[in-house]
Amino acid sequence: MHVVVDFDQCDGNGLCADAAPEVFELGEDDVLRVRAEHPEPALWPATEIAARGCPKLAITLRNDA
C-alpha cells in the first residue's frame, strides 16, 4: 500500500490522524505529515478508514507496494 495525500485539498482537520495515528500525524503547525507512506499490512484497515473518512477526499491509497 502506498499512501498519497493531496496537500492542496487537505485542510489539516486531523481526522485521519485520529483514525490512523501510526500513519498520519498533525503537526503543531496544523500541517499534516505522512508518517508511513508504505504502512505495514496490520495498519491497512485503519488507513482505509482514515482515507474513507477524509472529508476533503485528499487521501489516495495505491496498491503499488
10 near ligand SF4, rule: CB under 6 A: yes
54 part of the interface to ligand SF4, by CB under 6 A? yes
Site for ligand SF4, residues 14 to 53, rule: CB under 6 A: 14-16, 24, 32
- Is residue 56 close enough to count as binding ligand SF4 by CB under 6 A? yes
Residue with Cβ nearer ligand SF4 (12 or 21): 12
Q: What is the C-alpha to C-alpha distance for residues 26 and 28, in angstroms, rounded to an integer?
A: 7
Residue whose grid cell is 485520529: 18
Q: In the chain, what are the helix, strand and coil shares in percent, each to the nearest 5?
A: 30, 20, 50
The position carrying cell 500500500 is 1
Given the rule CB under 6 A, which residues bind ligand SF4? 5, 10-16, 24, 32, 54, 56, 58-59
